[in-house]
Amino acid sequence: MEYDVEPQEDGAAIREEIRSFLSSAPRPDGLRNYGPTPTDDDIPAGRTWHRYLADHGYACLHWPARHGGQDASVLRQAIFAEECARAGVPRQLVMTAIDLVGPILIHFGSDLQQRRYLEPIRLGEDVWTQLFSEPGAGSDLAGVRTRAERTPTGWLVNGQKLWSSAANSARYGLLLARTGTDTHRGLSMFVVPMATPGVTVRPVMQIDGESKFNEVFLDDIQLDHDALIGEAGQGWQLAMFTLGRERLTLGSQAVAMFKLHARMAQAARDRDLLDPVLARSLTRLWARMWLLRATWQRAVAHGDMASPAFSVLKLMTSETDRDLSDLATEVLGTDACANSDDNEFVHSMLVARAQTILGGTSEIQRNVLAERVLGLPKEPR
């Protein structure tokens, strides 16, 4: 079944172009749709795939043309992400480098930083990791405690980061550290070569058996003066600048959910479990997914990345994905425990819970919507 409802007149032409390109693109051995973050084993195939995208103008779509991008519209970017999900391929080597680091360096980086880092990112040569979250400050970036102190030669950094995607494969890290006492204006952003003495990376084993996240220890690491991005105290502004890029790809999550929903309904039929109760649950989730897709299309059509619709979508998409995956227990029964190694439904059930945590927890998202969009009183802190 097709789920295409184009948000603009030119959407159909854009979709046909991208779909045709992806269907004919050669896929390197071992390539899979690993999402925004590859495992260590995904890197070789992912790098080859990314270079093919770059050579054909499909990498860094949102970057300015002067830096090798396409100055692509929000619509084009969103359709590309959605069609990659439909084709079962990643849209980049690592999301952090393309969607977070690149735009920050383009808007705030020095000429030296742009010359040094942007082209290897565009070509998929360098993996980057985001060193933002900490054990005591996950979604609350204002609570960052990692400290960077000025020295005669640059900066001395001490601290710990957690949930750093692809840090065990990364050549560089984008670090948010405290350089002053002010809650927001006391933060600064740095480039950290991950081979710097004093940097220790420990992979975190996830419940699904993969290790895409890591904890990173920074013990007396020395950074040069030119590691600072922008100005000291500008870190909060730069961190806020990165937010929202992942929201643009929520349509691709809808594609994955529709696919999972169809397979789950068929599995229930095959097991003779599609009774009225389960059918009602599947129907309600199908309706929620369609409503999310329609909301996403409207937000994309307006092209406003600051629209509160994207915050609503992040919250509701992650919770719909969780609820859909939780239905696996009703479809599989005891097989959910006995067949966990090779069953896609079980894997989805284990991973979907993380969707309500990564990129800002559901609790934080509700606070943001209540305080910044609805204008409700702030939560007592």
The Cα 335–Cα 328 span in angstroms is: 10
Assess whether 301 and 359 both reside in one domain.
Answer: yes
Assess whether 186 and 143 both reside in one domain.
Answer: yes
Kindly state whether residue 239 falls inside one of the protein's structural domains.
Answer: no
The Cα 314–Cα 292 span in angstroms is: 10
The dihedrals phi and psi of 329, each to the nearest 5 degrees, come to -65, -30
Q: At what angle do helices 250-270 and 276-302 cross, to 10 degrees?
A: 160
Assess whether 135 and 226 both reside in one domain.
Answer: yes
Assess whether 188 and 84 both reside in one domain.
Answer: no
Kindly state whether residue 353 falls inside one of the protein's structural domains.
Answer: yes
Q: Please give the pLDDT value at position 342.
A: 46
Place of tokens 């270079």: 51
Please name which of 67, 96, 86, 74 lies closest in space to residue 21, comparing C-alpha atoms.
86
Assess whether 250 and 348 both reside in one domain.
Answer: yes
Q: Please give the pLDDT value at position 247.
A: 61
**Active-site residue list:** 246
Q: Please give the pLDDT value at position 304.
A: 67
On whether the CB atoms of residues 268 and 98 are closer than 8 A, the answer is no
The Cα 261–Cα 267 span in angstroms is: 10
Q: What is the mean pLDDT of each run of 10 residues along the chain (381 residues)?
A: 46 93 97 91 97 96 94 88 92 93 96 98 97 80 92 97 94 97 94 98 86 93 98 92 64 81 89 90 93 82 70 85 85 67 70 75 82 82 67
Kindly state whether residue 99 falls inside one of the protein's structural domains.
Answer: no
Assess whether 226 and 294 both reside in one domain.
Answer: no
Kindly state whether residue 362 falls inside one of the protein's structural domains.
Answer: yes
Q: Please give the pLDDT value at position 201.
A: 97
Assess whether 229 and 290 both reside in one domain.
Answer: no
Burial of 39 (0-12, 13-18, 19+ CB in 10 A): middle
Kindly state whether residue 101 falls inside one of the protein's structural domains.
Answer: no
Kindly state whether residue 153 falls inside one of the protein's structural domains.
Answer: yes
Assess whether 279 and 360 both reside in one domain.
Answer: yes
CATH code for the domain of 157: 2.40.110.10
Assess whether 328 and 267 both reside in one domain.
Answer: yes
Domain that holds residue 49: 11-93
**What domain count does the chain have?**
3
Kindly state whether residue 114 falls inside one of the protein's structural domains.
Answer: no
Q: Please give the pLDDT value at position 250.
A: 65
Q: Please give the pLDDT value at position 1.
A: 38
Q: Please give the pLDDT value at position 57.
A: 95
Assess whether 164 and 218 both reside in one domain.
Answer: yes
Assess whether 158 and 228 both reside in one domain.
Answer: yes
Q: Which of 194, 209, 234 marks a domain boundary? A: 234
- DSSP secondary structure string, 196-225? STTEEEEEE--TTS---EEEEEEEEEEEEG
Q: Which of 211, 234, 257 marks a domain boundary? A: 234
Name the pTM for this structure.
0.85
Q: Please give the pLDDT value at position 249.
A: 63
Q: Which of 207, 234, 261 marks a domain boundary? A: 234
CA dihedral for 140, 98, 191, 182, sign (positive or negative): negative
Q: Please give the pLDDT value at position 20.
A: 98
Assess whether 155 and 252 both reside in one domain.
Answer: no
Kindly state whether residue 263 falls inside one of the protein's structural domains.
Answer: yes
